[in-house]
């Protein structure tokens, strides 16, 4: 696990292009790659876009996942089993297969989404291209990422909810707490550790999302305004053969991930110190 990280760190300090892949020594350039990135407006546009994307998708995923988890505790056995199987099937579907279906759904010529929306009076969605505009492109990407991530959040939170004592909930109900108050002031604080780790994982995964964006770009546009950090690194490395710059961006993403994770790690250290 350490070798790729060390290789990336060393390569980020070198000028590593296609010639170096055929044995030519890689010149040491120090922090020049990082300086170039820091002064590149395209790089910061991608970073800002990626942060907004991961924050929005992670928040929506967490909200829907919690609602589904609460629903699973409230419905009967048959309904709960049906919901769990549906979530499990969606979660287990291979990404490429799922993306193929989603691209068909949003196809501008034969897509079901355009067909259904076009049936609404006053709405003209005939041959509307969802993937040719950055706003609608990332709207579609967000829907897909949330759909693929919700099952994990729902199952994780549901597992936490099963550990909440029935006696505590009954006592809160006898004290006059409504369903919303029991959820907010009793259940949520008790499953906070589960929510914290799930939210952290979602932020990390959504920050590094790659396959969904790449396949949507293959079906739409590969322009720079459609890039997130994952596709930006791929274009720098495999596309432009500039592995030095691609490695520098990768190290930056690692640092960004550690910065996001630090809040969770700090809370763990505080809890350990208190105990």
Domains of the chain: 52-192 (1.10.3720.10)
pLDDT at residue number 182: 81
C-alpha span between 66 and 272 (Å, rounded) = 27
Residue 207's contacts (CB-CB under 8 Å, 6 or more residues apart) are 50, 51, 54, 229, 253, 256, 257, 260
Per-residue pLDDT at 27 exceeds 80:
yes
Percent of the chain whose predicted confidence (pLDDT) is above 90:
55
pLDDT at residue number 145: 96
174 or 268, which is more confident: 174
Cα 181 to its chain centre, rounded Å, is: 30
Per-residue pLDDT at 123 exceeds 80:
yes
Minimum mean pLDDT range among 11-25, 35-49, 172-186, 213-227: 172-186
C-alpha span between 11 and 246 (Å, rounded) = 9
HSE on the CB side for 116, CA within 13 Å? Answer: 6
Overall average pLDDT of the 81-90 stretch = 93
Q: How does the average pLDDT of the chain come out, rounded?
A: 89
Overall average pLDDT of the 109-119 stretch = 89
Overall average pLDDT of the 163-191 stretch = 81
C-alpha span between 74 and 222 (Å, rounded) = 45
Total-model pTM: 0.88
Confidence band of 273 (pLDDT split at 50, 70, 90): confident
Per-residue pLDDT at 274 exceeds 80:
no
pLDDT at residue number 171: 85
pLDDT at residue number 275: 64
156 or 171, which is more confident: 156
Confidence band of 206 (pLDDT split at 50, 70, 90): very high
Overall average pLDDT of the 62-75 stretch = 92
263 or 212, which is more confident: 212
Per-residue pLDDT at 74 exceeds 90:
no
Confidence band of 46 (pLDDT split at 50, 70, 90): very high
Per-residue pLDDT at 212 exceeds 70:
yes
C-alpha span between 231 and 212 (Å, rounded) = 10
C-alpha span between 221 and 232 (Å, rounded) = 14
């Amino acid at each position: 696990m350490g070798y790729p990280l060390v290789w990336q760190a060393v390569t980020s300090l070198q000028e590593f292009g296609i010639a170096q892949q055929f044995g030519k020594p890689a010149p040491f350039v120090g922090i020049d790659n990082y300086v170039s990135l820091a002064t590149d407006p395209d790089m910061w546009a991608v970073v800002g876009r990626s942060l907004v994307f991961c924050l929005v998708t992670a928040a929506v995923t967490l909200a829907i996942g919690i609602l589904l988890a609460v629903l699973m505790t409230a419905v009967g056995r048959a309904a709960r089993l049906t919901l769990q199987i549906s979530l499990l099937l969606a979660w287990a579907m291979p990404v490429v297969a799922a993306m193929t279906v989603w691209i068909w759904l949003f196809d501008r010529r034969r897509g079901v989404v355009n067909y259904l929306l076009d049936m609404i009076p006053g709405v003209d969605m005939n041959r509307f291209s969802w993937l040719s505009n950055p706003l609608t492109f990332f709207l579609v990407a967000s829907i897909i990422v949330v759909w693929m991530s919700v099952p994990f959040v729902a199952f994780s939170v549901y597992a936490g909810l099963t550990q909440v004592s029935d006696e505590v909930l009954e006592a809160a109900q006898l004290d006059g707490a409504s369903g919303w108050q029991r959820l907010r002031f009793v259940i949520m604080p008790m499953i906070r550790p589960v929510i914290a780790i799930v939210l952290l994982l979602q932020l990390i995964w959504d920050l590094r999302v790659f396959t969904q964006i790449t396949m949507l770009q293959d079906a739409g546009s590969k322009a720079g305004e459609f890039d997130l950090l994952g596709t930006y690194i791929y274009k720098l490395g495999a596309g432009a053969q500039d592995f030095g710059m691609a490695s520098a961006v990768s190290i930056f993403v690692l640092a960004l991930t550690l910065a996001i994770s630090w809040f969770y790690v700090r809370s763990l250290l505080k809890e350990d110190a208190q105990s």
